[in-house]
Amino acid sequence: MMREDHCTRCGACCAAFRVDFHRSELESAAAGGVPDALTVPLTATLVRMRGTDAAPPRCIALEGEIGAAVRCTLYAARPSPCRDFAPYAALGIGDDACNRARARHGLAAL
């Protein structure tokens, strides 16, 4: 029996942290990359997902209600920090960063 995928309901990480990554992950640098229009430049080599440096942060690619039902509009092309974040959360196993993000939104730790 498959466990419930907590990430498709949560989305707390997408509304808790800045998401910075190398320009080589952009669509303009590699087919299937992150659309350039969804980012802001930081340095000559780094970009940030729009909305993640807002107060409060919320990634521009996040749709839905945190803790209820969410989806990433660019999931297949999401940047490496998103791919690497809390790798076992979908299985109901959080880590410190995942649990901090969940706590910011009043959600219980995994």
**Residue carrying the six token digits 């909305």:** 51
pLDDT, tens digit, 9 for 90 and up, residues 47-70: 999 999 999 999 999 999 999 999
Read off the pTM: 0.89
pLDDT, tens digit, 9 for 90 and up, residues 8-41: 789 999 999 999 999 999 999 999 999 999 999 9
- pLDDT beyond 80 at 1: no
Instruction: Give the model's confidence band at 4: pLDDT under 50 very low, under 70 low, under 90 confident, else very high.
Output: low
- pLDDT beyond 70 at 2: no
User: Do 13 and 97 form a contact (C-beta atoms < 8 A)?
Assistant: yes
Burial of 16 (0-12, 13-18, 19+ CB in 10 A): buried
Q: CA angle 43-74-56, nearest 5°?
A: 60
pLDDT of residue 18: 97
Report the alpha-carbon distance of residue 12 to residue 4 in Å, rounded. 16
User: Do 31 and 76 form a contact (C-beta atoms < 8 A)?
Assistant: no
